[in-house]
Amino acid sequence: MTHDTTSEWRPALNWRVRPATPGDLEGILTLQQECSEAPHWSTASWLQILSGQQGCRPIRACFVVEGEDKAKSGQLILGFSVACCAGELSELESVATLLSARGQGLGRTLCRQVMEWSRVQGARTMELEVRASNAVALALYRTLGFAEQGARRRYYRDPIEDAILMTADLTTVQRAGELRAGE
């Protein structure tokens, strides 16, 4: 997997965002378990994504935010985002942050990373689907420049619910590298 965004430490909050590696699998699976709203992918699917073994096109990128795990004196995966890019169109497939780490800007940073990665890959538009009831995610996406384009009726199961389809113009979004630390 090729990533053009370099990792960046955020000293104020003691976390950093970086491209994911196969070593992040356990932390990602733990986080996925906690997030009922995020798509639940199998270990095999995650390993494919994290090892970059997915054929040529479309291509995927996964970024993680890691922070200090004071209890274990190690690093903890606080969030992840995944995007899939094919030509001029990219899809934000998943974003999630640890319940205890929410509201600190991690979700926005993770989205911006995959948006910037997609832009560098040549994508001009990013699309996504989100549960109509997921007010937090809808608010997050709007702050990132996504606009609602319509709905897919009864798209989700357990529970059955409409999906809101949103798109963003990647040619006008702010670049991840231009963010201030901690933003």
Does residue 136 bind ligand COA (CB under 6 A)? yes
Does residue 162 bind ligand COA (CB under 6 A)? no
Site string for ligand COA, 48-87 (x = CB under 6 A): ----------------------------------------
Contacts of residue 11, Cβ cutoff 8 Å, sequence gap at least 6: 181
Does residue 27 bind ligand COA (CB under 6 A)? no
Strand partners, 77: 66
* CA angle 73–9–179, rounded 5-degree value: 145
**Residue nearest ligand COA, Cβ-based:** 107
Nearer to ligand COA, 8 or 37 (CB): 37
CA distances from 73 to 80, 97, 183 (A): 21, 20, 25
Nearer to ligand COA, 122 or 152 (CB): 152
Does residue 159 bind ligand COA (CB under 6 A)? no
Amino acid (1-letter code) at residue 102: R
Does residue 107 bind ligand COA (CB under 6 A)? yes
> Is the peptide bond prior to 58 cis by the omega test (within 30 degrees of 0)?
yes
List residues near ligand COA by CB under 6 A.
Answer: 35, 37-38, 94-97, 102-108, 130, 134, 136-137, 139-140, 143
